[in-house]
Amino acid sequence: MLIFRWILLLALVAGVLCFALYVATGQKPWRDRGLAIVKWTVVVALGFFAVLILERLAVMV
């Protein structure tokens, strides 16, 4: 679980760095990369939390 948290944290940091490079350079590809990284990070995080919820529900049943 700790590994997944670190992966999510590093992906969010990568997205923020891409947005910082976009602000610094004004080049559109950096913004697009940042949006893609953040989008997929959110999708993975939702899947991760769904698995955690399903595990807890399975224990309760």
Question: What does the pLDDT read at residue 5?
Answer: 87
pLDDT lower than 50: segments of the chain: none
Question: What does the pLDDT read at residue 32?
Answer: 97
Sign of CA dihedral 43, 49, 55, 57: negative
Confidence (pTM): 0.81
- Cβ atoms of 18 and 31 closer than 8 Å: yes
Say how far apart CA 35 and CA 12 lie, in whole Å.
10
Give the residue extent of every domain in the chain: 2-60
